[in-house]
Structure 1
Amino acid sequence: MKLSALVCAQNDEARLADCLRGLEFCDEIVVVADRCTDRTQEIARHFGARVIDGIFPLESQRKAAGVAACLGEWILEIETDEHVDAALAYEVRAAIHGRPAGDWFDVPLHNYVGETLVRRGWGAGLGEVLAPRLYRRRVKRWTARRIAPGVVLEGRHAGALETPLKRRADPDLGHMIARLNRQTSLRAQDLADAGDVRSLVGDMGLGFARFWTSYVWRQGLREGELGFLIALMAGLDAVLSGVRARHLLKLRADAAAQPAAQLAQVGFAGRR
């Protein structure tokens, strides 16, 4: 039973080799290189991967293109900051060859900040602790978004694996803040395109709810300062995304109004 590994990359030369090294147990590796200007494609081909070059503005487009290129009956979906060790590789193979009574498996994730394993508090697009990463082809699809697209699964749930994926979420706190900045920029574009823009008060309410969910319900408080920071970022994500979305809509409205104003001026000058 053929197994495809799917990796989506965007200028990830610094961490791609370590990611692909853990996928050599798969029958094929497919790397979607989205607007890469570094050595991503070269590194991927060095590991025998099939490279799909393209321009994919939406994360959902990248993943869909990758799935379409996979030839295996089963797909293991991996991010460039994640690593599959030997124990997980063995469990993945055993799961798909053991006549699974379903079409997709959840895979646990261990998220590291630097060298510290942070088990609790993740959410709001900052990290996952369990995700459907092993699935039959054509079972999984994504909603059209630039970041953190929603997932739609068809078929039957086959259960969850026990061995976690290891994810180097952030090498340091500066990287966490930079990731939040990039994430809110992309999410703001999604919100503006969908017209899903709330008031500042609404964003603050959502931000508080996310902070409480991360810090209390998901027990981020047990992770000390890092747990508090993750919860704070989850709340700020909602507020910053909303502020940036409203600003973006204003810029778009101003840009659309300029041609009309210029035409009006030309018409007035003609009448004179």
Structure 2
Amino acid sequence: MQKLPLTLVVITHNEADNIARCLDSVPFAAEKLVIDSGSDDDTVAVAQAHGGRVVHQDWLGFGPQRNFASTQCSHDWILALDADEYLSPELATELEQRLPELMAGPGPAAILRRSTVYMGRPMRWYRPAVGEKMARLYHRDRARWTDARVHESLRFEGSAPTLDAPFNHANNPTLVHKQLKVLRYAELKCRDWLDKGKPVRMWQAPFVFLLAFVKDYVFRLAFLDGWRGFMIAQTAASYALYKRMRYYEMCNNPDSVRLASAALTRHGIDR
């Protein structure tokens, strides 16, 4: 397969179970760059065995980590995937066909569609898990990730085409993994709020869970995916409520930031 002047970038920490599938799904990338933040499993060895060039960088937060990765690439055009994501054969073919024209033009980025596999099966109806649009292909001089610790996004000016075929997301192999991720993401989001001095609005708490659940379960069609849809909606609503409770605690007991960080680190969640 012809190599294209493109760098695949994956940020990792203990992703030995996922990284090979991710790297192997992009055979046309001239460079595969893995930015690892100190894995203590076989992530680095597996990545290198599957063509990845591994660079160590202590964890900076999702946005800063991705921006650091952009500075380490050998090519200006970058495809950013998470370790638990991988291209479908259809998208790999589409990218091979469309990338030369995209990279030759003045555009800053392209939008990809993401399809989520949850509890071992693809979601069929839940809107954020079926064809979710995400900017993941970009020119590093024309786009930049926000500096958010979590829930970062790619910022650029101008229009970006949307590709048709999806890439896949093997979302949290178990509910245990999901709950651990919720703890970590909530902590990072609350630290961002703390840095910005966001007001504490606990009066919203009684409504947050219900509104978030109804939004996902009804309006985003999670109910059509059966009990898996119920679980996704419940988890999302719990996350929305927990963030606000945790932020209230941070503001009223500042030492809880240090104590929680130490606890999460002991369990391998914070980094």
TM range (shorter): 0.7 to 0.9
Deviation at 1:59, TM superposition (A): 0.8
> How do 1:87-98 and structure 2 match up within 5 A?
87-98=90-101
Q: Aligned residue for 1:195? A: 197
Match of residue 142 from structure 1: 145
* Residues 74 and 96 in structure 1, CA contact (< 8 A), matched pair in contact too: no
Instruction: Give the AA of the match of 1:16.
Output: I
* Pairwise CA distance, 1:254: 8.5
1:63 aligned residue: 66
> Does the residue aligned with 1:236 lie in a helix, a strand or coil?
helix
User: Among residues 212, 219, 243, which one is paired with 1:241 in the alignment?
Assistant: 243
Task: Report if aligned partners of 2:115, 2:130 keep a CA contact under 8 Å in 1.
Answer: no
Cα deviation 1:140-164 (Å, max 9, x = unaligned)? 322222211243123331x211111
Q: For residue 136 of structure 2, what is the aligned residue in structure 1?
A: 133
Aligned to 1:113: 118
- The CA distance in 2 between the partners of 1:182 and 1:210, in whole Å, is 19
**Equivalent pair of 1:197/1:246 in contact (CA under 8 Å):** no
8 A contact 2:249–2:256 mirrored in 1: no
Q: Deviations over 1:39-63 (max 9, x none)?
A: 2222222223222211123111110
Alignment of 1:213-224 (within 5 A): 213-224=215-226
What is the letter of the counterpart of residue 182 of structure 1? R
Paired letter, 1:146:
R
Q: Does the C-alpha gap of structure 1 residues 81 and 40 become closer, same or farther in structure 2, counting only changes over 3 Å? A: same
| 2: CA distance, partners of 1:204 / 1:254 | 23
Q: Which moved more, 1:174-183 or 1:131-140?
A: 174-183
Identity of aligned pairs, percent?
23
Distance 1:56 1:175, change over 3 A: closer
Q: Post-superposition shift, 1:239?
A: 1.1
Tell me what 1:80 maps to: 83
How far apart are the structure 2 equivalents of 1:199 and 1:8? 34
Q: Counterpart in 2 of 1:155? A: 158
1:93 Cα offset (Å) = 1.9
Distance 1:127 1:54, change over 3 A: farther
8 Å contact kept, 2:131–2:166: no
Q: Which amino acid aligns with 2:250?
A: L
Residue equivalent to 1:259: none
Q: Which shows bigger deviation, 246-255 or 108-117?
A: 246-255
- Alignment of 1:103 with 2:105, yes or no, is no
Residue aligning to 1:186: 188
Residues 177/228 of structure 1: CA separation in 2 closer, same or farther (3 Å cut): same
Which residue number corresponds to residue 18 of structure 1? 21
AA at the equivalent of 1:47: H
**CA separation of 1:166 and 1:253: change in aligned 2, threshold 3 A:** closer
Cα separation, 1, equivalents of 2:257 and 2:222: 43
CA distance in 2, matches of 1:210, 1:33: 34
Considering only aligned residues, what root-mean-square deviation do their CA atoms show, in Å?
2.5
SS at match of 2:26: coil
Please report how far the alpha carbon of residue 122 of structure 1 lies from its aligned counterpart in structure 2 after TM superposition. Answer: 5.7
Change (3 A) 1:54 1:238: same
Please state how far the C-alpha of 1:227 moved relative to its aligned partner: 1.3
> Given the alignment of the two structures, is residue 40 of structure 1 paired with residue 43 of structure 2, yes or no?
yes
CA distance in 1, matches of 2:147, 2:67: 10
After the TM superposition, which of the residue ranges 161-170 and 184-193 deviates more from structure 2?
184-193
Query: For this pair of structures, how many residues does the alignment match?
Result: 253
Q: Which of 4, 7, 16 does residue 4 from structure 1 map onto? A: 7
CA distance in 2, matches of 1:122, 1:147: 21
**1:184 positional shift:** 1.9
5+ residue gaps in structure 1? 257-272
CA distance in 2, matches of 1:164, 1:255: 39
> Is the Cα contact below 8 Å between 2:64 and 2:146 reproduced in 1?
no
